[in-house]
């Protein structure tokens, strides 16, 4: 996101990053409310509890597009598409997904289309 927005997000503490994303009209929401996971791989997720997406629609009334970081989160794209939102499933930003950074960045530029 930092490279996409030309912002030094990596150097900021997490609470500082969120307002910067909002300045660019980008919100951040986790697909899962909670889960158990040994390590960082999505394939290790157990006892997943989904977040309440109705909260997103109540808070972000001008929301038009919902983007997903990787295929695991992207499984929820149809839920948002059925509610009338544009959806975009992006390549995972995880280093475990070994597509090169430039190729990922090119795909992630789709977030900014239509803004």
DSSP string, 50-87: E--THHHHHH-TT--EEEEESHHHHTTHHHHHHTT-EE
Taking domain 2-112, whether its CATH number is 3.40.470.10 is answered by yes
> What is the chain's pLDDT, residue by residue, as a tens digit (115 residues)?
999 999 999 999 999 999 999 999 998 888 888 999 888 778 888 998 988 888 888 888 888 999 999 998 898 899 889 989 999 999 998 877 888 999 999 999 999 986 5
DSSP 15: H
Q: Are 18 and 38 in contact (CB under 8 A)?
A: no
The overall pTM is greater than 0.75:
yes
């Amino acid at each position: 996101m930092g490279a996409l927005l030309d912002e030094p997000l990596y150097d900021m503490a997490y609470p500082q990053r969120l307002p910067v994303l909002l300045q660019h009209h980008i919100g951040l929401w986790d697909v899962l409310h909670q889960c158990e996971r040994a390590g960082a791989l999505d394939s290790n997720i157990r006892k997943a509890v989904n977040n309440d997406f109705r909260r997103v629609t109540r808070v972000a009334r001008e929301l038009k597009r919902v983007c997903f970081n990787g295929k695991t989160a992207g499984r929820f794209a149809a839920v948002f598409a059925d509610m009338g939102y544009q959806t975009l499933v992006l390549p995972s930003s995880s280093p475990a997904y070994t597509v090169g950074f430039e190729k990922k960045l090119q795909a992630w530029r789709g977030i900014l289309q239509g803004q």
